Amino acid sequence: MPRLPQLSGREAIRVFEGLGYRVVRQRGSHVRLLPPEGSTQKPLTIPDHHALGKGLLRKLIRDVGISVDEFLRLL
């Protein structure tokens, strides 16, 4: 399995926006994204921190339903 780079919350949000997710609100440091209309994917909550944990990033990728390789291509 490929290694994930260290990403900030903002960088991760940009990648997920490229997949059609859209930011709907922010409360404190947590940003809520909704999937594209008509999609069965889960909404995402991403902390706007300087560095996301590798486990959290893998969970977000899994929730979107793409592989780590696909995610890395979108960077």
Digit-coded pLDDT (tens) for 50-70? 999 999 999 999 999 999 999
Full set of structural domains in the chain with CATH: 9-74 (3.30.920.30)
Q: Do the beta carbons of residue 17 and residue 32 sit within 8 Å?
A: no
Instruction: Give the pLDDT confidence score for residue 39 in this predicted structure.
Output: 86
- pLDDT for 10 equals 97
Q: What is the pLDDT of residues 37-47, one digit of tens each?
A: 988 899 999 99
What digits encode the pLDDT tens for the residues 9-36? 999 999 999 999 999 999 999 999 999 9
Global pTM value: 0.92
Q: What's the sign of the alpha-carbon dihedral 63, 66, 67, 72?
A: negative
What is the residue-wise DSSP string for 9-63? HHHHHHHHHHTT-EEEEEETTEEEEEPPTT--PPPEEEE--SS--HHHHHHHHHH
